[in-house]
Amino acid sequence: MKATFRKTPDGKLEVYIPKKDLEAMVLEVEKEGEWGGIFKLSNGWVLKVPPLDAEPKFPITLEVKKM
């Protein structure tokens, strides 16, 4: 599924999933590489985000998997 990641004004990471009309804060990240891996969200979902070589420019839309 597609997910859009953005940084809030206070520097926290937020994700929006259009198909579910879901907006949640990223609470925890288990990194794989420089950026990506397992993201735990404030609504209890866990997403697998593809690893990237460096932190991307936000906002960015990526293909993720719900675990």
Which pLDDT does position 34 carry in this prediction?
84
Domains identified in the chain, total number = 1
The 10s digit of each residue's pLDDT in 14-49 is 999 999 999 999 999 998 678 999 999 999 999 999
Where in the sequence is the domain holding 39, given as residue range(s)?
2-66
For residue 16, give the CATH number of its domain.
2.40.50.240
- Give one DSSP letter per residue of the chain, joined into a string: -EEEEEE-TTS-EEEEEGGGTEEEEEEEEEESSSEEEEEEETTS-EEEEEEESSPPPSSEEEE-EE-
Quickly state the pLDDT bin for 53 (edges 50, 70, 90): confident
